[in-house]
Structure 1
Amino acid sequence: MANGLSAERLASQLVVVERINEHLGDEFRLLKGIEVDILDDGALDQEEKMLDRLDVVVASVHSKLRMAKAPMTRRMIAAVENRHVDVLGHCTGRLVEGSRGTRDQSTFDAEAVFAACAEHGVAVEINSRPERCDPPDDLIAMALDAGCLFSIDTDAHAPGQLDFLAYGAERAERLGVPVERIVSTWPLEDLLEWTHRR
């Protein structure tokens, strides 16, 4: 949201990633990904031709978090149905602590949203930021019952925040999320096959 990537800036970034991968050869693979905003109508805030060039797309609601339950549900399901979306990010939008204060979770039909995620193979993000703990434990259990995949993500805004991953991993383990349903643990070939499924 803050200083988000325009199509032009994203294109420049992709060139940098491609050059890094060329330089590293088979030693390491840097994936091309983005977190896009889910707009009011469920559309994504990035051009389709740019999304086609990416390996991983996380879609999250960042604005109008107090939208009524029915339109918020439609908004989220429309994004989940988008062929580019691989992960539904911080689905409730809640904040439980931190310098930004606290924020209640958004209201939406979680059963319907998670059913759509399961149907379309979209992973539910377990957001590792301590101030988010999103989704809450009860919704992780609901997503598990719905048959959803999961992605443990740091939501890092700076390099030092990559260590947040341990918080999300602890929650996944404590809540009984099977490792085979956590896409961020998969071998590269399996991950890319999944992200290019649609």
Structure 2
Amino acid sequence: MVALLPPLEAPVDPTDALRRIAFLLERNRAGTYRVEAFRKAVKALKEIGDDEVAAHVEAGTIQQVPGIGKTTASVVEEAARGELPAYLESLQDNSGGPLADGGEDLYAALRGDCHLHSDWSDGGSPIDEMVLTGIELGHEWMVLTDHSPQLRVANGLTAERLTKQIAIVDAINRGVGQTFRLFKGIEVDILDDGSLDQTDVMLGQLDLVTASVHSKLKMNSAPMTKRMVNAVLNPRVNVLGHCTGRLVEGSRGTRPQSDFDARAVFEACLEGNTAVEINSRPERQDPPDELIELALEIGCVFSIDSDAHAPGQLDMKAYGCERAELLGVPWDRIITTWDADRLHAWADPTS
């Protein structure tokens, strides 16, 4: 079950201290440049190894290591002395608590996440770091959903790159044992006519497909409705991602929601056994409350997802849980509360 990470206490490994700082900065939406400093420092320490780290600390030369700056050097030195680094302590005190004011019980009932990205597309961290953080948070499973080819600005995966990623996911699953499962997935673009931005052969090799509209968001209502209905009725599609495409805050500014017949789309979701995503990113809050209520009335199932592009953002599902609880969404209709076997069986188009 998903849970808040308990605060780190001294003594703490320098790498663990740096990773936790990066995580806390990410979950609280700090600037990318601040986070990258700590992620780069983690990589630098791993490259030189523990013995060389200790030698540099003893000699007072850790800041000479490429990738280590003044602040990260202080964290490493304090941790190496057996102290809890002051920067980490401050973050844990001020930013380590629950992100949302409600939905705590539902958050604790979550088992997985159907929408997250790695540095294979537009995420900021490698797959293994996303997985490690997910396991630390108590996830039993996650679905890796990097973007599809059309989204070039997000370095979307061609069929060839997706094939390579599938092999890596299989290797990770062999390495993590039986307590966690990384599902093979994709966030596939819904094209103008409702077809999907990946070959049927490749989609058939995946465990779960989240489908989203990323282009021509101002399309007129009738063609947008037809586009979305065609997609969610596709047997390969399991989750309809951030259905309105709106942005309500954040560095990218705001964007109005797309115009479509929500009842027709959600009725098609029900018919096609496609979950409606409750996207937990604060800048999206998608769908809006009234559309969640409509999908609930129609009988849809839901997926509370982080849409994480960095490890710390996996915690953002707390915002989705807060909204789902407030709107009375039954837990059993939330697929991210299901265990891995139930999810896999539900997502299988042949079942």
TM-score, length-scaled by structure 1: 0.98
Shift of 1:187: 1.1
Paired AA for residue 45 in structure 1: D
Q: Answer yes or no: is the 8 Å Cα contact 2:236–2:349 preserved in 1.
A: no
Instruction: Name the one with the larger helix percent.
Output: 2
Q: How many residues align?
A: 198
CA distance in 1, matches of 2:280, 2:316: 6
CA distance in 2, matches of 1:178, 1:197: 24
2:331 maps to 1:173:
no
Task: Kindly name which structure, 1 or 2, has the bigger radius of gyration based on alpha carbons.
Answer: 2
CA distance in 1, matches of 2:307, 2:173: 23
1:50 pairs with one of 180, 185, 202: 202
Unpaired runs of 5+ in structure 1? Answer: none
Deviates more, 1:70-79 or 1:49-58: 49-58
2:203 maps to 1:61:
no
**Which residue is equivalent to 2:263?**
111
**Which residue is equivalent to 2:11?**
none
Runs of at least 4 residues off by over 2 Å: none
2:9 maps to 1:9:
no
**Which residue is equivalent to 2:254?**
102
**Which residue is equivalent to 2:290?**
138
Shift of 1:126: 0.1
**1:93-133 residue CA offsets vs partner (Å, 9 max, x unmatched):** 00000000000000000000000001111000000000000
CA distance in 2, matches of 1:146, 1:131: 26
1:161 pairs with one of 297, 310, 313: 313
Paired AA for residue 72 in structure 1: M
Report the 3-state secondary structure (helix = DSSP H, G, I; strand = E; otherwise coil) of the residue aligned with 2:217.
coil
CA distance in 2, matches of 1:178, 1:167: 16
Paired AA for residue 151 in structure 1: S
Q: Answer yes or no: is the 8 Å Cα contact 2:194–2:229 preserved in 1.
A: yes
Deviates more, 1:126-135 or 1:182-191: 182-191
Deviates more, 1:53-62 or 1:23-32: 23-32
Q: Percent identical across equivalent pairs?
A: 66
Unpaired runs of 5+ in structure 2? Answer: 1-150
CA distance in 1, matches of 2:182, 2:275: 20
CA distance in 1, matches of 2:301, 2:179: 28
**1:120-164 residue CA offsets vs partner (Å, 9 max, x unmatched):** 110000000000000000000000001000000101111121111
**1:14-62 residue CA offsets vs partner (Å, 9 max, x unmatched):** 1001011112232321111110000001011011111111111000000
Paired AA for residue 115 in structure 1: E
**Which residue is equivalent to 1:30?**
182
2:342 maps to 1:193:
no
Shift of 1:177: 0.4
**1:162-191 residue CA offsets vs partner (Å, 9 max, x unmatched):** 111100111111110000000111011110
Give me the CA root mean square deviation.
0.8
CA distance in 2, matches of 1:158, 1:23: 22
Report the 3-state secondary structure (helix = DSSP H, G, I; strand = E; otherwise coil) of the residue aligned with 1:114.
helix
